[in-house]
Amino acid sequence: VSRAVAIFTLFMFFLIITIGIAIWLGEIMGKYSYGFFIVAAFYGLTGIILFFFMHKRIKTIINNSIIKHFFK
């Protein structure tokens, strides 16, 4: 339960920070929607880079973690 609470807290932190950055960028650009588009583009590019360049490594780390956790 404590791990779930910690993960939820981190998720909320990143969500609120992301919204704040999007609003701040939108204010600088003149329209709030521009800030949200910029933040979405950043996350999209990050996802694409992770998928194409780090997919095997991330998959290996997750698989090893699951094996260690369930098959000790």
Cβ 41 vs Cβ 25: under 8 Å: no
Cβ 35 vs Cβ 21: under 8 Å: yes
Q: What is the pTM of this model?
A: 0.71
In tens digits, the chain (72 residues) has pLDDT values of 788 899 999 999 999 999 999 999 999 999 999 999 999 999 999 999 988 888 888 888 888 888 888 876
Q: What token pair was written down for 36?
A: 């949200």
Give the sign of the dihedral formed by CA 8, CA 12, CA 14, CA 18.
Answer: positive
Helix orientation angle between 32-70 and 2-29, rounded to the nearest 10 degrees:
160
